[in-house]
Amino acid sequence: MKLAKVVGNVVSTIKTPSHQNKKLMVVIPVDASGKECGDAMIAFDRFHAGAGDYVLILEEGGAARDILGDPKGSFDAVIAGIVDRLN
């Protein structure tokens, strides 16, 4: 699990069937102080995160499928929760 900041969303007019009706967000991994520490990636979102939110992301397909409720889908990263605050 990684801490990340949402920096935008992805709009796609054509998606594979397993990706239909799923929200895609651009996230950048950050350290505990909120400083960027990795490359941007795309993550699926079921928690209604928005730009500027800090989130927890999982980069494991099985967990992503469980969170998204799609046992046959092909997913790399998923937002697992929204962080209320960083201390």
pLDDT of residue 72: 73
The first and second tokens of residue 38, run together, are: 């990795």
CB of 43 closer than 8 Å to CB of 58: no
Please check the confidence at residue 71 and state whether its pLDDT lies above 80.
no
CB of 54 closer than 8 Å to CB of 83: yes
pLDDT of residue 81: 94
pLDDT in tens, 8-41: 999 988 888 877 888 999 999 999 999 999 999 9
pTM listed for this prediction: 0.84
Q: Is 30 helix (H, G, I), strand (E, B) or coil?
A: strand
Architecture of the 2-36+45-82 domain? Beta Barrel (2.40)
Q: If we measure between CA atoms, which residue out of 40, 24, 28, 6 comes closest to residue 75?
A: 24
Strands 23-29 and 41-45: antiparallel
Largest Cα span, the chain: 40
